[in-house]
Amino acid sequence: MQTFQFHPYLYKTFLFYLRSQNSQITPSAYYLMVRKIIHIDMDAFFASIEQRDNEAFRGKPLAVGYAEARGVVAAASYEARRYGVRSAMPSKTALKKCPHLIFTHGRYDVYKSVSNEIMEIFQEYTDLVEPLSLDEAFLDVTENRFGISSATEIAKEIKQKIFEKTNLTASAGVSYNKFLAKIASDYRKPDGLFIIRPKDGEQFVETLEIERFFGVGKVTAEAMHQMGIKTGSDLKQFSEAQLTQAFGKAGHTFYLNARGIDDRLVEPDRERKSMGAELTFEHDIDSLEQLQLILHEVAEDVIGRIDKRDFIGRTVTLKIKYADFQIITRSKTGFVPVTTFEQLYRIGLELLAPIDTSPKIRLLGLTIKRNDNRIHPADAYQLKIQFEEWKNER
């Protein structure tokens, strides 16, 4: 069946638009907006590389790190894991669990170059690659360079290519959001491939231990246990208000994740956090009209510097430096990415209007900053208007 495929940002905007219309998303509407996300993670990464490059290590319990008193295990081979040896474990403990554990020192330049090799493979499919560490990344393959409609097919190909190029195995998770794709990649390790389909996501999450949820560390897990929350299904019993009261902003995330929903975008690493420009005037200025002209110039400069496909900043910051070198900044965060001169200039004017221009000013700067892409549903009503605006601008 052919489903609609949205550009990831359109997906996002549309999702919030729907929510603003009717606080509940119907399953069918959600299905129409489905994204295809893959999470790939190398198996026992450092340890597998050492086993690949040294025959003596193959099939043996191996730890990468220092065996000395204060050493810790960076990576453990699967053979070592059978004895309970894990990453971040003190070497002393590891040796107690597995007395014949072999230690070898890390070769980080080699790990980095293997990492580059796998990242290159990901890039063959899409620009939307978000590396999380040397050995793993998210890919949004909703649209991909080969027009392959099956994300599972892509995941298989990638695993194959990684093996051909590096002689190492990776595990892949395929799903419709980051949260589930990451859990899926871990589910059948090593050399695994696991798919969580949209129709199964919510049920899958019910059985999930709370420790596996995104953002649940030791402290949060303990707090949840106190509340009687052990699994996703326990978590679901709590209202959004209860969860935000207990966990602040994260509570909102837990509420959505418990329903298999995760709106975070795959954000390419090379996407800059912010892009800006500023101008120091030859002569200090105190007229608003003149500042507006300068704003015009600076805004053009900033827009000229951003790559419109990749940069999705929504926060605009105006910086003013007075003649006495005092600096003030004023920011505004909108609901759609600022990508055009008209948008940026308009927001810049709004920020400039209330600023005191009676003391002389020596510098004006303008920056667009990338945000995390969460928008609180309470703010979502605004999107209706902005969605229309955004459509017109396309």
Interface contacts to ligand TTP, rule CB under 6 A? 41-46, 74-75, 87-88, 133, 135-136, 189-190
Nearest to ligand TTP of 90, 377 (CB atom): 90
Which listed residue (135, 140, 263, 267) binds Mg ion by CB under 5 A? Answer: 135
Q: Could you tell me the smallest distance in angstroms from the CB atom of residue 281 to Mg ion? A: 50
Could you say which of ligand TTP, Mg ion, none residue 75 binds, taking C-beta under 5 to 8 angstroms by partner kind? ligand TTP
Select which of 136, 222, 271, 282 is catalytic.
136
Cα 170 versus chain centre, distance: 20
Q: Does 137 bind Mg ion (CB under 5 A)?
A: no
Tell me if residue 136 is catalytic.
yes
Q: Could you tell me where the DSSP H helices lie in 213-287? A: 218-226, 232-235, 240-247, 249-257
Q: How far is CA 72 from CA 58, 95, 354, in A?
A: 21, 11, 56
Residue 190: cis peptide before it, omega within 30 degrees of 0: yes
Length of the chain measured in residues = 394
Amino acid 248 reads: G
Q: Could you tell me the smallest distance in angstroms from the CB atom of residue 43 to Mg ion? A: 6
Could you say which of ligand TTP, Mg ion, none residue 17 binds, taking C-beta under 5 to 8 angstroms by partner kind? none
Q: Could you tell me the smallest distance in angstroms from the CB atom of residue 192 to Mg ion? A: 11
Q: Could you tell me the smallest distance in angstroms from the CB atom of residue 27 to ligand TTP? A: 33
- Which DSSP string corresponds to 79-92? HHHTTT--TT-BHH
Taking Cα atoms as reference points, which of 144, 192, 157 lies closest to residue 172? Answer: 192
Could you say which of Mg ion, ligand TTP, none residue 224 binds, taking C-beta under 5 to 8 angstroms by partner kind? none
Determine contact, residues 42/32, Cβ cutoff 8 Å: no
Nearest to Mg ion of 161, 321 (CB atom): 161
Q: Could you tell me the smallest distance in angstroms from the CB atom of residue 133 to Mg ion? A: 5
Q: Could you tell me the smallest distance in angstroms from the CB atom of residue 72 to Mg ion? A: 17
Which listed residue (79, 136, 140, 262) binds Mg ion by CB under 5 A? Answer: 136
Could you say which of ligand TTP, Mg ion, none residue 87 binds, taking C-beta under 5 to 8 angstroms by partner kind? ligand TTP
Q: Max alpha carbon distance in the chain (Å)?
A: 77
Q: Tell which phi-psi region holds residue 260, choosing left (phi > 0), alpha (psi between -120 and 50) or beta.
A: left
Q: Does 255 bind Mg ion (CB under 5 A)?
A: no
Amino acid 143 reads: E
Nearest to ligand TTP of 53, 307 (CB atom): 53
Determine contact, residues 36/173, Cβ cutoff 8 Å: no
Q: Across 189-347, where does the E strand assignment appear?
A: 193-195, 274-285, 313-322, 327-333
Could you say which of ligand TTP, Mg ion, none residue 387 binds, taking C-beta under 5 to 8 angstroms by partner kind? none
Q: Report how many helices (DSSP H) and strands (DSSP E) the chain contains, helices first.
A: 16, 12
Nearest to ligand TTP of 131, 190 (CB atom): 190
DSSP 3-state assignment of 112? helix
DSSP 3-state assignment of 176? coil
Task: Please state, in angstroms and rounded to a whole number, the distance separating the CA atoms of residues 125 and 144.
Answer: 5
Nearest to ligand TTP of 112, 376 (CB atom): 112
Nearest to ligand TTP of 43, 389 (CB atom): 43
Q: Does 50 bind Mg ion (CB under 5 A)?
A: no
Which listed residue (42, 76, 101, 364) binds Mg ion by CB under 5 A? Answer: 42
Summarize as ranges the residues that interact with Mg ion (CB under 5 A). 41-42, 45, 135-136
- Catalytically annotated residues: 136
